[in-house]
Amino acid sequence: MLGAPAQRAIEKVYVRRLRRFGPMQDDDVSALEARLGRMEAYAAGKDLELTTSPPMFLLSGWACLAHSLRDGRRQILAFVLPGDGIGFDLLTRSQRSVEVLALTPLKVRYAQPGFVAGAERLSRVFAGAAAAQQGRMIDHMVRLGRQTALERMAHLLLELHARLAEIGETRGESFHLPIKQEILADALGLSLVHVNRTLQQMRREGLIDMRGSQMTLLDRAALEAASDQSS
C-alpha cells in the first residue's frame, strides 16, 4: 500500500516538471539521471556563473535571469522555479550579459560536463521546456510593453501560481512568494513604490491576500479578467 505513493512522493522535482512537456518513460528518466552530476548550494544574492559551468536543474529555491544597465537599472527577464533548467537553451549560454541571480538560498544539480539531451523522447521533452520558457518571455514582453501595473501584477501572480502548482508547491490558491517587492518591481518594469501601491489596491479590492510572504489569490476570475493576455 505504500510503494506507488512513496515512489511518486520522491520523484525528483525536475522530472515532475519535465513530464509536463511530454511523456517520459522509466528509461528516459534513467537516461536523464545518468547525465546529471553533482549537487551544489548557493546563498541568496549569489550571482551564478553560467558561461563556464555546465547547465543545471534548480532543486529548490527561486532564481531569476536578469540584465543590468550601467546606471543600475535592472530588468528581470524570467523567474526560475524549482525543477526548471538553467543554461540548457541558447538563451542563457549566449555571450549576452544575462545574469543568473539567486533570489533565495538555492540547491542545484549540475549536468555532466558533456551533457547532451539524449534519446528521442527526452530531447522532445527538452524542446518543449524550452518552448514553454520562450512563451513565458513573450507574455512578459506583452506585460512590459502594453499592460498597466495592475494587469502586469495579476498576470505574473497567475503565472507563478500555475508554475508552482505543477510541482506541488501550492495549497489551493495560496503559495509562498519568497521575494521582496523590489524584485517584483524589477521584473514588472515598475518602481518599488508603485508595486506596493498596486498590491495594496489588489488587497483592498479583494483580489489577493498577503500575510508575510504567503500569497493567496482570492478572486481568480477577476485576476484573469485583468490580465487578459489572450488574442
* Whole-angstrom distance, CA of residue 80 vs CA of residue 133: 10
Toward DNA, which CB reaches closer, 37 or 189? 189
Sign of CA dihedral 97, 158, 106, 33: negative
Q: Which of 68, 75, 123, 181 binds DNA (CB under 7 A)?
A: 181
Q: Which stretches within the chain are classed as H helix? A: 3-9, 13-18, 26-34, 90-93, 120-146, 149-166, 181-188, 192-204, 220-227
Distances (CA, A) of 200 to 150, 184, 188, 194, 220: 10, 14, 16, 10, 17
Stretch that binds a copy of itself, among 1-9, 44-52, 92-100, 161-169 (CB under 8 A): 92-100
Give the x-and-dash track for 106-135 against a copy of itself (CB under 8 A).
---------------------x--xx--xx
By CB under 8 A, the residues from 155 to 194 that bind a copy of itself are 188-189
Q: Which of 71, 114, 116, 212 binds a copy of itself (CB under 8 A)?
A: 71
Q: Which of 11, 41, 180, 214 binds DNA (CB under 7 A)?
A: 180
Q: Does 191 bind DNA (CB under 7 A)?
A: yes
Q: Does 38 bind DNA (CB under 7 A)?
A: no
Nearest to 91 by CA among 116, 55, 118: 55
Give the x-and-dash track for 133-172 against DNA (CB under 7 A).
---------------xxx----------------------
Work out the angle at residue 178's Cα, subtended by the Cα atoms of residues 54 and 104, and round it to the nearest 5 degrees: 35
Q: Does 146 bind a copy of itself (CB under 8 A)?
A: yes
Cell of 76: 528581470
Cell of 40: 551544489
- Minimum Å gap between C-beta 184 and DNA is 8
- The CB density around residue 14, as the number of other CB atoms within 10 Å, is 22
Q: What does the binding site for DNA look like in residue numbers (CB under 7 A)?
A: 148-150, 180-182, 189-194, 196-197, 199-200, 210, 212
Q: What does the binding site for a copy of itself look like in residue numbers (CB under 8 A)?
A: 67-71, 73-75, 77, 89-91, 94, 96-99, 127, 130-131, 134-135, 137-138, 140-142, 144-147, 188-189, 228-231
